[in-house]
Amino acid sequence: MNQRRQHPAPSLQALRKRGYDILFVSHGEAILCGEFPEVIAELESTLSSLTLPITEIIGSGGGETRFTQRLRRALSALGWPKHTFVIAKTVDGIPKESASHEVDHVRRTDRGVVALEIEWNNKDPFFDRDLENFKRLHAEGAISVGILITRGATLQNELHAAVRRFADERSIGGFEDLAANGYVPTPKQKAAINRRVTRSVNPLQFADAWTDNFVGNKYGQATTHWDKLMARVQRGVGNPCPLLLIGLPASIIHFDRASVDAMEDDEPSDPGSS
């Protein structure tokens, strides 16, 4: 009698259960689970304990967020340092061309190298840069797998509701209430909010106008999040480099009571400060 082949359970189950988006591309799962089980274990352990205070969502300005810094420190402590790959070509001993590729985190083992990038809140073309870098490094034999972490679908979709809840819980009814909680919009943002609050047709409550303005400016559709990453993957960007793509879920948001204590800006994070 023929026996049905037993397929192993998908890896990173603890993250899947918590709502993380997980996608392996180009045999990434077979390579990571077969050759780099410690990498899977370290990622699962690190990401399973992540929390994202709502005040860090509100207060993250143009620099690297405290949330991202914590994730970077956790990975670095496990042996995932930043690294710049330099690929140089020579002809008869004469250098002809060279290129460098800086990667956020690199994990080396005796079986190969895994590269990881974090795109918390950059402009979405940074996905093209990361995936193409992975492709080049894989083609040169410098890495075995590329890993990319970004905001997941549920986190992106629920950001507006989370920020509106912050406004409700802090009784935000005007700019003075924002200031009392450690947040001061720019003059440009204040003007845009005031226009929607004071318009004669369908004026908005202050909390709604501020939430719309904040989320649209800071975490809009043109920033790095899961849907934008999937669009690249579906077009084959980065192919054929084996990949693990991870989307951070809404379940990591924690509604703390701390002060925001950060000035806001109009743009998502600067290059290299995702």
Is residue 121 one of the residues assigned to a domain? Answer: yes
Is residue 255 one of the residues assigned to a domain? Answer: yes
Answer for the pair 150, 226: CB distance below 8 angstroms, yes or no.
yes
Residue 91: predicted pLDDT: 86
- CB within 8 Å of 157: residues ≥ 6 apart: 250
Is residue 11 one of the residues assigned to a domain? Answer: no
* 230: containing domain: 19-86+96-263
Is residue 8 one of the residues assigned to a domain? Answer: no
Residue 262: predicted pLDDT: 52
Q: Is the dihedral of CA 169, 175, 179, 183 positive or negative?
A: positive
* Strands in 92-211 per DSSP E: 94-103, 105-109, 112-119, 145-151, 183-184
Report the DSSP beta bridge partners of residue 151: 225, 248
Number of domains the chain is built from: 1
Answer for the pair 197, 206: CB distance below 8 angstroms, yes or no.
yes
Is residue 273 one of the residues assigned to a domain? Answer: no
pLDDT in tens, the chain (274 residues): 444 444 455 689 999 999 999 999 999 999 999 999 999 999 999 999 999 999 999 986 555 788 999 999 999 999 999 999 998 888 888 877 778 899 999 999 999 999 999 999 999 999 999 999 999 999 999 999 999 999 999 999 999 999 999 999 999 999 999 999 999 999 999 999 999 999 999 999 999 999 999 999 999 999 999 999 999 999 999 999 999 999 999 999 999 999 886 544 444 444 444 5
Q: Cis (ω within 30 of 0) for the bond into 242?
A: no
Is residue 2 one of the residues assigned to a domain? Answer: no
Answer for the pair 274, 121: CB distance below 8 angstroms, yes or no.
yes
Residue 4: predicted pLDDT: 44
CA dist 135 → 21, 129, 174, 236 (Å): 22, 10, 49, 11
Is residue 4 one of the residues assigned to a domain? Answer: no
Is residue 109 one of the residues assigned to a domain? Answer: yes
- Please report, for the domain that includes residue 194, its CATH number: 3.40.91.20
